[in-house]
A and B are shown apart, each in its own frame.
Chain A
Amino acid sequence: MCAKMAFQHQAGTAMECLSIPITLHKEPGVDHEGAEVLKCGFKIGGGIDQDFRKSPQGYTDYGIYVTEVHDGSPAAKSGLRMHDKILQCNGYDFTMVTHKKAVDYIRKHPVLNLLVARKGVTST
């Protein structure tokens, strides 16, 4: 039940599910313009303004998903994995955010305290 809720969640509705706490410490890096920034080293997809039905990964709801993790990146070190669904980021609800908002939140802080749902781990 939990699993279903976590991955087929209707944004905005109450949900209760197991989650994995992850603490990610960003590391300095350089963006494509050469500016120094703190990087996590993962990519997210999704958001309530995105159509998950068109996602190549076949996600099943409007959540924010980790779609790629760079090897050796802070994200990888923190234990974040591809296809994790980010439920919260530093206390902010990620089950009902726009894609851009999610990006903003993630960029906002040097340390991310994430709660993620992972298929097969937090759900059966």
Chain B
Amino acid sequence: MKVVMTSSNQLVDSCLLVNRRIEQRQEHSITHTEITQRRVLQEKTPDMLQYTGQPELHQGNSYSLDVPYHPTNGHQDNHSPNSSHLSVQSGDAATLVSRTQKQQTTQQVTTLTKVVREVHHVGADGQPVDYVSHSGLPYTGAGVLPTSAAPTYPHTQFSNYELMAGQEAYPPMDPARRYPETYHPNYQDYEQYPPQPEYPYQNPPYPGTFPAYSDASNYAEQPAYGERPPTPPSPSERSESPPLQQALQHDYLQKGAPFAQPGFDELDSTLIPPRQEHYRITPSPGAPVDRYGDESKLVYGYAPPSPYGTVPAAYGTNGADPRTFEENGPPTRTIFEDEEELRKHLSMHPAIPSPSVDDEQRGMRWRDPNLTEVIGFLNNPNNVIKANAAAYLQHLCYMDDPNKQKTRSLGGIPPLVMLLSHESPDVYRNACGALRNLSYGRQNDENKRAIKNAGGIPSLINLLQKSSDSEVKELVTGVLWNLSSCEDLKRSIIDDGLTVVVNHIIIPHSGWDSTSSGETCWSTIFRNASGVLRNVSSAGEYARKKLRECEGLVDSLLYVVRSAIEKSNIGNKSVENCVCVLRNLSYRCQEVEDPHYDKHPLPTQSRVGAQHKGDNLGCFGASKKKKDAQPVQHKETASGSRSAGQRMEPAKGMELLWQPEVVQSYLSLLQSCSNPETLEAAAGALQNLAACYWQPSIEIRAAVRKEKGLPILVELLRMEVDRVVCAVATALRNLAIDQRNKELIGKYAMRDLVQKLPSGNPQHDQGTSDDTIAAVLATLNEVIKKNAEFSRSLLEAGGVERLMTITRHRQKYTPRVLKFAGQVLFTMWQHQELREVYKKHGWKEQDFVTKTVAARNAGPNSPNNANSTLNRPMASQGGTRYEDRTMQRTSNMNSASRSPGPSLYQQGEDIPMADMSYPEGGTHAPPPAGARNYPPTSLAKPGEPLYAQVNREKKKNRQYEAGAQPPFEGQLPPGPGDMWGYEEPAKGVVMDAHSENPTGGDSWV
């Protein structure tokens, strides 16, 4: 009570007052802490206790940090830290949770759930009366919040705010600020605010009310918490992203309150505190201390109220705010949430904010600093102000592209980059956060360039090298990830940062090197770093060369993939990134021997070579029975011979990329992974590896067969995700260069291949892209080329009708598809022995041979010419083409409004995977007439190997859609694949074996 009173007074008054406030607040915090402890104890978490104790806030900080990180990355896959917290809490107070949920529904403030829960407990346990009363009010307020509730709420909130403000003033910087309990109070406040947009304006009244508040103030706040706690959206929490979000939210909420209390104690490191401070600070520019109190209060009031209000809704919808996660660090998150509202407020402010404050309160005038002023504060000699300015800038730029661009044009980026080298952890950490937001978003390439031009890349790398703070590392790698999505910067990142990123992060985190435990560390840092590599690995031959030659990189990536497979932990983003890098590095792998390998005429034998190596056909595993052909033994023999064929000395470095052993890893992923990105990348890797002419490619093609990979690939043809199907179909096409593979594909995959061709039924044809159709056609052409039987089975599978469907709807398909379809028909017609059969079906020569195709095939390079396909140069690959595509994507970009937040999609999109385009100049030489009208990309002929290509546009779209989903990270349809995608195969326990078969025994599923 006393405290409250004092605080109110202080608020009104000047600096001196502020100091008092602090003390008072501390008291409050203490009381709170006790309560919280009780709760905590009950609940279980030591952290909670710590939270209560301000000093221990650090833990809280870490907690908060985790949250922010996730956001930064945009990927929430690895939430372990946060999630654990959440789970614990939820577990403890099951009943409480349930309550909260109900309440939440009414209140809208879902986000705050965790905190809220705690509060409730406290309320019940601790000071029932006060809490209850308070909480009751908040609740009602919350329920009413939208409009009517405002009156009651305001008071409670106000008190909080004031407290906050005082605390904010400076205390703030505690690393641990995110402490749950403290936060809770804030939380409540925030929530309340949100509901009441008017709040800010109401501020004046608050001051007046304060006294009243003061009594209840401490408790009131807590109560509020209690109420809100209930809200904790349990549902969202469960999901991967939710935890983060929740955590974030908690942080936010808590931050407000926590700041005040903890903040005072620990000013130094906490990000959050800075943010809070920022708010406060920003106003202070004119008169830091004095105004602080006032300004900060005002600011808080303004920002929090609306933001929260808005935020909750957002959370509710999304489950978690992707945005926050992505761009804003935890601290930022609060801010972010606020941001939206803040913006509104800001817009409103010009007229309203200061006046209201002035009038009601002690005539204090304050306003939020504008962008120019904030940027000015970056150069303020006071480190605290610097840090706050950076944090506030981060806040202002969250999800706000105009502000991002404005910040650049106002010269805000160079000072931020300068701050990266600052000695104060708060300063460089906050600068990282601001840069992360500034660099996020596809449409912010100019900002990325500006960061680079200001020397940002070396500065970031230096920071990455010198800092041991994992939060800073996450932030830095997050910024780098954003930067790496800009084509212009990839080379710079490779030149300046590749070695550090690999040696400081990738290798140690992978667990590959002998010094480590062997366990892969699935951290956000690793995810970010692998994302950087994923992006830069698509930057053409230069990038591939540098990455391949980077010592330990390929080894680490493959190690990570293998260990992920062992642990059945293959659905996460880190694995996706790693596989994408591997795919990109596998692109044109033969170039390490001869950069122009595909320009030379190919020796015909290469193809034959592949065949003879073969052993038996026993690869179509499932069908072996039917096949009568090769029993298991043969397979074993085959594998034996294969291994014998391999080099004896262990391969390392880039050579690992094309060792036949990698096939097993890729096939494992293809068999069990549910992450379409990873599936696409794994299929793309096989496609790339099988696309070259050198001996390793021959061995890879055989290895896929021996590892029974063909049925796995064929099965994936039935998958719904077209991008995956396309990669798989193209891989099959390249694998079909191997004679045995060709026979197996013709024998067992014909129907699945035909199924991917358009039937004329829109429903069926819907989701199949032209690229996929082209890849299927190329495979079919390869398969039937010299095999009349397969040509017949293509006919019997209804392939001719479908081919005709294509050629008869020329306007519906790309020239490439039309050309390929025509080529397949032409090839069919070349089997003279089947012509009678065709005619029996009612087809004529004209159906199979069109003028253009005939003309095309008249040349010396005609496809039917036995080796024409191979003879042709592979065509310069589209090593860089993806870049262009990337650019094009922009058109697809939706406004930043996507729920996921810019960072997410950005990263996803940007992460161009390698994206290789089809080799130009397909195998088939251009028609004599040189009538190539199609874009270069489409030139690949049916006969030649194709490189894996990523269809970015689709990907983008998908991501966008995904954005709507709660966990941004879990964009993939399956959501966090982790949830079910990867069950452990090991479960299968042999209860009783039918036989001695290795597989024998029943399996639990």
- A89's nearest neighbour on chain B, judged by CB, is B1005
Tell me which residues across on chain A come within 8 A of B997, comparing CB atoms.
49-51, 99
Q: C-beta contact mask, A47-81 vs B, less than 8 Å → 1, else 0?
A: 11111101110000010000110000000000000
A119 within 8 A of B: no
Contact of B980 (CB < 8 Å), options: A11, A38, A52:
A38
A75 CB to closest chain B CB (Å) equals: 8
Known A-B contacts: A55-B994, A96-B622. Give 7 more (CB < 8 A).
A33-B986, A35-B984, A44-B1005, A50-B1000, A91-B718, A103-B988, A109-B980
Task: In the A-B complex, list the 5 residue pairs whose CB atoms are closest, starting with the nearest.
Answer: A12-B626, A45-B1002, A51-B995, A37-B983, A38-B980
Contact B987 A37 (CB under 8 A): yes
Asked if A52 meets B994 with Cβ closer than 8 Å, knowing A44-B1002, A99-B1000, A100-B999, the reply is yes
Q: Within the complex, which residue of A31, A56, A68, A109 is in contact with B987, where a contact is CB–CB below 8 Å?
A: A31
Question: In the complex, which residues of chain A have a beta carbon less than 8 angstroms from the beta carbon of B1005?
Answer: 39-40, 42-44, 103, 106-107
Known contacts being A44-B1005, A54-B994, is A12 close to B623, with CB within 8 Å?
A: yes
Residues of A within 8 A of B622 (CB): 48, 96-98, 101
Asked if A43 and B1002 sit within 8 Å, CB to CB, the answer is: yes
Q: Which B residues form the contact surface with A (CB < 8 A)?
A: 568, 621-623, 625-626, 671-672, 674, 715, 718, 974, 979-989, 991-995, 997, 999-1005
1/0 per residue, CB under 8 A from B, across A80-99: the answer is 00000000000110001111
Query: Which residues of B lie under 8 Å from residue A42 when comparing CB positions?
Result: 1004-1005
**Could you tell me if B621 and A101 are in contact, using CB atoms closer than 8 angstroms?**
yes
User: Are B999's CB and A50's CB within 8 A?
Assistant: yes
B673 nearest in chain A by CB position: A108
Smallest Cβ-Cβ distance to A26: which chain B residue: B980
Given A12-B626, A33-B986, A103-B1005: A98 in contact with B994 (beta carbons within 8 A):
no
Taking CB atoms, residues of chain B closer than 8 Å to A35 are: 568, 984
Closest to A103 in B: B1003
Smallest CB gap from B1001: residue in A: A45
Interface residues of A in 11-37 (CB under 8 A from B): 11-12, 26, 28, 31-33, 35, 37
The residues of A that contact B1000 with a CB separation of less than 8 Å are 50, 99
Given A11-B625, A96-B626; A51-B1004 close (CB under 8 Å): no
Picked from B674, B985, B993, the residue with its CB within 8 Å of the CB of A103 is B985
Chain B neighbourhood of A67, CB < 8 A: 991, 1002
Complex Cα distance, B632 from A48, in Å, reads 12
On chain B, the residues within 8 Å of A98 by CB distance are 621-622, 999
Tell which of B625, B986, B988 touches A12, judged by Cβ atoms closer than 8 Å.
B625
Which residues does chain A contribute within 8 Å of B989, judged by CB atoms? 32
In the complex the two chains form, is A37's CB within 8 Å of B984's CB? Answer: yes
A106 to B672 CA separation, bound complex (whole angstroms): 11
- CB neighbours of A96 from chain B (8 A): 622-623, 625-626
Residue of A nearest to B569 (CB): A35
Taking CB atoms, residues of chain B closer than 8 Å to A101 are 621-622
| Cβ 8 A contact of A43, one of B979, B982, B1003 | B1003
Expressed in whole angstroms, the minimum distance between the Cβ of B716 and any Cβ of chain A is 12
Q: Is the CB of B985 within 8 A of A107?
A: yes
Residues of the A chain whose Cβ atoms lie less than 8 Å from the Cβ of B672: 104, 107-108
Find B1003's partner among A32, A62, A99, A110 (CB 8 Å cutoff).
A99
What residue in chain A is nearest B626 (Cβ atoms)?
Answer: A12
Q: In the bound complex, what is the Cα–Cα distance between A56 and B844 (angstroms)? A: 59
Q: Give A contacts to B, CB under 8 Å.
A: 11-12, 26, 28, 31-33, 35, 37-40, 42-52, 54-56, 62, 67-68, 91-92, 96-104, 106-110
User: In the bound complex, how far is the Cα of B170 from the Cα of A102, in angstroms?
Assistant: 62
Q: Are B718 and A43 in contact (CB under 8 A)?
A: no
| Residues of chain B lying within 8 A (CB to CB) of residue A45 | 992, 994, 1001-1003
B983 CB contacts on chain A under 8 angstroms? 31, 37-39, 107
Whether B1004 and A43, one on each chain, are in contact in the complex, defined by CB atoms closer than 8 angstroms, is yes
- B984 and A56 within 8 A (CB): no
User: What B residues does A102 contact at CB under 8 A?
Assistant: 1003
**Which single member of B985, B988, B999 contacts A49 (CB below 8 Å)?**
B999
- B992 proximity list for chain A (CB < 8 A): 45, 56
How far, in angstroms, from A96 to B621 measured CA to CA in the complex?
10
B995 x A50 contact (CB < 8 A): yes
The complex places the Cα of A100 from the Cα of B985 at a distance, in Å, of: 9
Least Cβ–Cβ distance between A52 and chain B, in angstroms: 7
Bound-state Cα–Cα, A11 to B993, Å? 20
Residues A51 and B994 in contact in the complex (CB < 8 Å), given A40-B1005, A42-B1005, A98-B999: yes
A106: nearest chain-B partner, CB-CB: B1005
CB-CB nearest in chain B for A54: B995
Chain A residue numbers with a CB within 8 Å of B1004 are: 39, 42-43
State the Cβ distance, A40 to closest chain B Cβ, in Å. 5
Q: Which residue of B lies closest to A96 (CB)?
A: B622
Residue pairs across A and B with Cβ atoms less than 8 A apart, 21 shown, are: A28-B979, A32-B989, A43-B1004, A43-B1005, A44-B1005, A45-B992, A45-B994, A45-B1003, A51-B994, A67-B1002, A92-B715, A96-B625, A98-B621, A100-B988, A101-B621, A103-B988, A104-B671, A107-B672, A107-B983, A108-B981, A110-B974
B674: chain A residues within 8 A (beta carbon): 108
Are A68 and B1003 also in contact (CB < 8 A) when A11-B625, A12-B623, A98-B621 are? no
- Chain A residue numbers with a CB within 8 Å of B715 are 92
Contacts of A52 in B (CB 8 A): 994
Q: A50 and B980: CB pair below 8 A?
A: no
Whole-angstrom CA separation of A102 from B985 in the bound complex? 11
Interchain nearest-CB distance for B571 vs A (Å): 12
Distance in Å: Cβ of B749 to nearest Cβ of chain A:
15
The chain A residue with its CB closest to the CB of B627 is A12
Known contacts A43-B1003, A99-B1000, A104-B672; A38/B994 CB under 8 A: no
Looking at B672, B988, B989, the one whose CB has the most chain A CB atoms below 10 A away is: B988
Q: Give chain B residues whose Cβ lies under 8 Å from the Cβ of A33.
A: 984, 986
Q: Could you tell me the distance in whole angstroms from the C-beta of A62 to the nearest C-beta in chain B?
A: 8
Assembly CA distance A49 to B985 (angstroms): 18
User: Which of A39, A45, A55, A92 is most buried by chain B, counting CB atoms within 10 A of its CB?
Assistant: A45
- Nearest-Cβ distance from residue A36 to partner chain B, whole angstroms: 8
Closest to B628 in A: A12
Provide the residues of chain A in CB contact with B671, threshold 8 Å: 104
Tell me how far the C-beta of B519 lies from the nearest C-beta in chain A, rounded to whole angstroms.
Answer: 15
Measured between alpha carbons, how far is A99 from B1002 in the docked complex, in Å?
A: 8
Q: Measured between alpha carbons, how far is A41 from B993 in the docked complex, in Å?
A: 18
Smallest CB separation, B546 vs chain A (Å): 38
A48 with B980: CB separation less than 8 A: no
A11 touches B1002 (CB 8 A): no
**Which of A11, A39, A49 meets B626, CB within 8 Å?**
A11
Contacting pair B985 A99 (CB below 8 A): no
A102 to B1002, CA, bound (A): 11
- Give CA–CA (A38, B982) in the complex, Å: 9
